[in-house]
Amino acid sequence: MSRLITITSGKGGVGKTTTSINLATALNSFGKDVIVVDANLTTPNIGLHLGAPIVPISLNHILLGKAKVAEAIYEHESGTKVIPSSLSINELRRINHKKLKDVGKKLRRMADITIYDSAAGLGEEAIAAMESADELIIVTNPEIPAVTDALKTSKLIEQLGKSVKGVIVTRVKKNSKTQMPISNIAEMLELPILGVIPEDERIQQSLVMKDALVHTHPKSKPALAYKKIAAKLVNMEFNEKPSFFDKLFGRY
Ligand SMILES: Nc1ncnc2c1ncn2[C@@H]1O[C@H](COP(=O)(O)OP(=O)(O)O)[C@@H](O)[C@H]1O
Ligand SMILES: [Mg+2]
């Protein structure tokens, strides 16, 4: 059955886009037909992450009724399909975010899994992405401000009559005395933890390479962590081994 998953957070800069593209690429590597959509229209960055900053037809065109959904789908070399948003600020005020739901309906007929990478905050734009979803995943960091915003987001999702599938905690450092323990995050949010992604500079390297880490460094620890979550989402077995170097340098 086709599903639409929205990745949301409350706080900005926690790793939503990184998570969206890595889950999409991982699911694609498992043979699923996946489309990742930049539902962050105010500050879009899927295109920047995947090397398509300016495209002739984007989500903005679809929402303005100027193009069909299929015309805005681009395929990254990793096989991941993407619908970028436009960086142009001129069109923003004319866009009706509520249409994201109708776009979602069409996308469900075009892919096994659609992923909406949501905007930060709890404004109209973020809510439209939440309302479009069959399933919602909250991304957070192991810090009080991010987890507090995650809690607010989860409460809002409840008010919308939806439920949160679980939480992905990312940018988790190995030896930090200041970060929140994962168990405290789970307790505070009262939600299942779908996975934990370590802080790893190869994530930033993949950003420079305009590709998903799951594709550039498939055996790195964060890539394996994303693949594990992706496998869980589609009830698949996953037991790939970490790379020799990750083992050698204690990164696993
Ligand atoms: N696990 C990680 N380790 C290191 N850097 C990360 C990790 N996850 C995300 N980042 C970096 O954090 C920044 C914000 O991530 P991004 O996915 O754009 O967040 P958001 O979409 O929530 O604003 C980016 O520079 C990204 O490369
Ligand atoms: Mg983002």
Is ligand 1 within 6 A of the CB of residue 6? Answer: no
Mean pLDDT over 165-194 rounds to 96
15 lines ligand 1 (CB under 6 A): yes
Query: 248 C-alpha vs ligand 2 centroid, how far in Å?
Result: 32
Q: What is the pLDDT of residue 240?
A: 80
Is residue 197 in contact with ligand 1, taking CB distance under 6 Å?
A: yes
Q: Helix or strand or coil: residue 120?
A: coil
pLDDT band at residue 95 under the 50/70/90 scheme: confident
- pLDDT single digits (tens) 16-70: 999 999 999 999 999 999 999 999 988 888 888 888 767 889 999 999 999 999 9
Q: Which residue has the tokens 């659609």?
A: 114
Contact assessment for residue 6 and residue 133, using Cβ atoms and an 8 Å cutoff: yes
**What pTM did the predictor assign?**
0.95
Q: In the chain, what are the domains?
A: 3-248 (3.40.50.300)
Q: Of 44-58, 65-79, 117-131, which range is least confident?
A: 44-58
User: To which residue do tokens 């607010």 refer?
Assistant: 152
148 burial class (0-12, 13-18, 19+ CB within 10 angstroms)?
Answer: middle
Asked if pLDDT for residue 76 goes beyond 60, the answer is: yes
Alpha carbon of 65 to ligand 1 centroid (Å): 32
- How big is the chain by its Cα radius of gyration, in Å? 17
Mean pLDDT (whole number) for 75-98: 84
* Residue of 203, 205, 221 with the most ligand 1 atoms within 8 Å of its CB, for mutation: 203
Looking at the predicted structure, is the pLDDT value of residue 172 above 60? yes
Which atom of ligand 1 approaches the CA of 201 most closely?
4
**Closest ligand to residue 21's CA:** 1
